[in-house]
Amino acid sequence: MVTIQMVGVDHNKAPLAVRESVSFTKGEAVHGLKQLMAGGGLSGCVLISTCNRTELWLSGWEGEQEEAVRLLCSLKGQDPSVFGPVCVGRRGEEAVRYLFELSCGLHSKVFGEDQIITQVKDALALARQAGAADTVLEKLFQGAVTAAKKVKTQLHLTAVSRSVAQKAADLLTERLGPLEGVPCLVIGNGEMGQLMARELVARGADVTMTLRQYKRGDVLIPAGCKIINYADRLEFLRLARVAVSATTSNHHTIKYEETRELLQDGKKRVLVDLAVPRDISPQLGELPGVELYDIDTLGGASMDEGSNQAVAQARQILAEGEEEFLSWHAFRALVPLVQRAGTLAGEDVAWRTRRLVDDLPLTGEERRELLEEIASAAGKVASRMLYGLREELDSDLWAPCVHGILHTLEGKENHP
């Protein structure tokens, strides 16, 4: 299988600065996918862009990894020579297996986290919006999401690790002590921002979230949280000892030039940046009394013995989904041959019944139409029987069996 491949950067090899330079908003992803499809040379593409990885998935692309890296970099105007050494490439069955594992959190920085399921699902939705999701990628991504949900339901992988929000709250407790009554500012009311706010409220913190004016009627605010306008965030920062930012903005929400003076008031503060690209100017971490942590410095959750057992069980569940997709993909290459065999079988049956049809009290046009209907019906029956081979034969026998039947039918084109 060489028609499926991916290239990308992730937290294992690429530092945050590199990852954020090829991070895509939803709008950028749709535009980029349309651009790739317009360039030709592939039948489909999907972009996965999260805080820990950016991956370009290609279908029907026969180029080398270096060429795929150039495609990815071209979408963000980046130099491929910089990204080549930290890019990872996979193709064929290796790529299929990786996507299934990725979708249930086995390759996440925080082991077993389940936000990735939604992220993979959303990536496919954006590809559809861009007209870039071909049949192969549709089947692959849907299969991976379905298998990941099955793993989540049966194994509860997240029970053996901690979420990013929990890890951030643990860090804050370590640096500041108990969080009871500590004024905390959470910038961003997306999924990660809400998770962070709930975790802080659960630990007794005094939590205030920002909310953009135009979103007030569309957002659920976690219980126990106050809200302020996003525009008032810097004024509130004077009061806060903790600021967490988790937006999808391409611009800093806490800028060095705007907050340098107010953060040098003698208070000890901890800033946590959970966004990619980063929300908080890195220079702020150099100010006296300010500690700055980002998605990389938070680190990942280590796996214990229970995690290892869960991974083994997860791989068994995933293997079923992988095999189903690989079988579908392998037989898909034979579909044109099956269709050809069905057509030939139908024509042969029609030829053998022509004398019976000739004896019927029909006009010439009616006889022709009847023979066409006989050929069509017989062809469908033959094709259905051939498709049934997928259920009855080992996959390594499909191709020789279909080829053998087709060879026999082609030998009967003269209807001996």
Could you tell me which of 244, 235, 242 has the C-alpha nearest to residue 275?
Answer: 244
Which of 51, 73, 87, 104 is flagged as catalytic?
51
Strands (E), 118-195: 183-187
Cβ atoms 116, 158 nearer than 8 A? no
Task: Based on the residue annotation, tell me whether 184 is a catalytic residue of this protein.
Answer: no
Distance CA 382, CA 344 (A): 9
Helix (H) or strand (E) holding 129: helix 115-129
DSSP 304-351: -HHHHHHHHHHHHHHHHHHHHHHHHHHHHTTHHHHHHHHHHHHHHHHH
- The burial class, CB within 10 Å (0-12 / 13-18 / 19+), for 327 is middle
Contact 241, 290 (CB under 8 A): no
For residue 129, what are the contacts with CB-CB under 8 A and spacing of at least 6? 30
Residue 355 burial (C-beta neighbours within 10 Å; 0-12, 13-18, 19+): exposed
DSSP 167: H
Contact 280, 248 (CB under 8 A): no
Active site residues: 51
